[in-house]
Amino acid sequence: MEGKPILADGSLVEDYSLLINYWRLAMKRDRAFMEKATIRAEDFRALERIVELYRGESIATLVDFLKQMMMERIDPGLAIDAYRETFGIEVSVDKAVNAVTEVLALWLLEAGRQLKIISYKSWRNSN
């Protein structure tokens, strides 16, 4: 499936198929599941605070923090189904949820960059 979510620029996520498949499956079950797996105004406010608190840390540290913040919003069953549909393989619940959450967190960073909340240059590339 092609396409990118709003404010995604592809700088961190080359392929949004996993998240898009998750949304499609979620819409079949309950729209609320899809809405939870989108970036929201409060995510941008949190990103602004996090950028200040974690300045100078690695980008991986920032991504891990965002993933933890968003993980509870991902339905495990939908994550497994979306992963299987996207990649054609079965994985554990943890791997599927982690993968969907990572795409969601990286999308927030891409959107934050578009809105000038964050600059990738201000973050270290490794731990």
Q: How far is CA 90 from CA 17, 30, 84, 94, 95, in A?
A: 16, 23, 6, 12, 10
Taking the model in full, what pTM does it have?
0.91
Sketch the domain layout of the chain as residue ranges.
Answer: 17-122
Q: What is the mean pLDDT of residues 103-127?
A: 82
Residue 31 to residue 36: CA distance in whole angstroms: 9
Give residue-wise pLDDT tens across range 44-82: 999 999 888 877 788 888 899 999 999 999 999 999 999
CB contact set of 10 (below 8 Å; sequence gap of 6+): 4, 110
Bridge partners of 124, per DSSP, are 58
Please state, in angstroms and rounded to a whole number, the distance separating the CA atoms of residues 57 and 10: 22
